[in-house]
Amino acid sequence: MINNRLLLHVVRLLDDVASPSVIDRALRKAGLSREVLTGEPGFLPLATEAVFAEAVARAIGERHIGVLVGEKFRYRALGWYSRYVLSASRLGGALARGRRGLPLLHPGCAVTLRDTGSHVVLGIDTRVRHVNGAQHLDDAMPFLLLDLARHYLGEAWSPDWVEATTKRVPDGAALEDRFGSKVRIGMELSGIALRKTDLAARNPEPPEASARVGLNDLPRLMGLAPPQTVAEEVRFLMQTQLIHGDMSADTIARKLGTGVRSLQRSLRAEGTSFRDVQQQFLKERATTLLAETDLTVQEIARLLGYDGSDSFRRAFMRWTGMPPSHYASCADRSSSSD
């Protein structure tokens, strides 16, 4: 999963690379829109970013779209998360903070540290390697990690080597030109090599005590909390897919990078089902729209994907024991008396 605000920043960086029409078509191909990204803070499947990046790359004929984004991306653009990480007194502490806080940016991803003896290789496991376009994400990650390391080690610092998942020698050569460091291709994860002595590097810009951010502060400051269960991931996606009018199990499973049967098994293990999650989501959306908007029953039925108002009324009666018009009038009386 990816924080939608982070993906919005990626989109804005690519607005400088391709025309708005190209970007908007690529967003649609990934089942996204600018409205989704600027709406309520939430999470989207990381696979959608890969699909989006691949669509842009194909449209403009640029193989290294991830490299272009990575070069433009600055670690401080991660907002409150980067403020939390960069308040660590030493680089080693910053890496530990990055690992702890990453679920607020990329639920399901992981910061990795591999000990090679004199070095540790810092990487991020996106866990979407099977998705077309995942290579673009892998290509961008070392630049983000490099920017973090340079906050502590200085702008002139370069890693002793960079690891890349690409298996193509020309791609490795292109990355070497960008990094000025040796690139090892065909690796399991993308990352940068840090000498163990680098981990003790002190923060050259330690924040004032009053400006420090704690891990427990992040969900509130970022306006969200990451999904903790598969059911919550499905609900986040339903919110997004509601805009596109497709909340089918096939679509939700595909965006989560799995199959319908696997998704159903995961939900059963949590004591629920796709239908149960969907019905609860529709009930909550319906009651909110009836209580807080002037939309008609017919408009709400259409918005929630029902073929007609009669089928919506039957579903609402099942959920609440009353027709939607009666629920709306009760909510209106209640708000008038407040």
User: What would the DSSP string read from start to end of 157-204?
Assistant: ---SEEE-----HHHHHHHHHHHSSEEE-S-SS-EEEEEGGGGGPBPS
Are 324 and 312 spatial neighbours (Cβ–Cβ below 8 Å)? yes
End-to-end CA distance of the chain: 40
Q: Can you name the residues that pair with 43 across neighbouring β-strands? A: 3
Claim to verify: residue 24 and residue 146 sit in the same structural domain:
yes
CB neighbour class for 130 (10 Å; exposed up to 12, middle 13-18, buried from 19)? exposed
Residues with Cβ within 8 Å of 77's Cβ and at least 6 positions away in sequence, in order, are 9
**Domain assignment of residue 268, given as a range:** 230-337
The per-residue pLDDT for 5 is 81
Q: Can you name the residues that pair with 179 across neighbouring β-strands? A: none
Claim to verify: residue 164 and residue 145 sit in the same structural domain:
yes
Mind listing the pLDDT tens digit for each residue in 164-178?
A: 999 988 888 888 888
Claim to verify: residue 93 and residue 173 sit in the same structural domain:
yes
How many domains, the chain? 2
* The domain boundary residue, chosen from 193, 222, 251: 222
Claim to verify: residue 9 and residue 48 sit in the same structural domain:
yes
The per-residue pLDDT for 332 is 52
Task: Write down how long the chain is.
Answer: 338
Claim to verify: residue 111 and residue 214 sit in the same structural domain:
yes
The span from the CA of 93 to the CA of 273, in Å, is 41
pTM here is: 0.67
Flag residues of the chain having pLDDT under 50: 333-338
Specify the CATH number for the domain of residue 200.
3.90.1520
Mind listing the pLDDT tens digit for each residue in 84-93?
A: 899 888 999 9
Claim to verify: residue 207 and residue 235 sit in the same structural domain:
no
Please name the amino acid found at residue 125: D
The per-residue pLDDT for 211 is 63
Claim to verify: residue 329 and residue 196 sit in the same structural domain:
no
Claim to verify: residue 100 and residue 177 sit in the same structural domain:
yes
Residue with token string 């993308």: 190
* The domain boundary residue, chosen from 176, 198, 222: 222
Claim to verify: residue 19 and residue 127 sit in the same structural domain:
yes
Claim to verify: residue 217 and residue 238 sit in the same structural domain:
no
The span from the CA of 311 to the CA of 290, in Å, is 16
The span from the CA of 251 to the CA of 236, in Å, is 13
Q: What are residue 235's phi and psi, to 5 degrees?
A: -65, -45
* The domain boundary residue, chosen from 198, 222, 246: 222
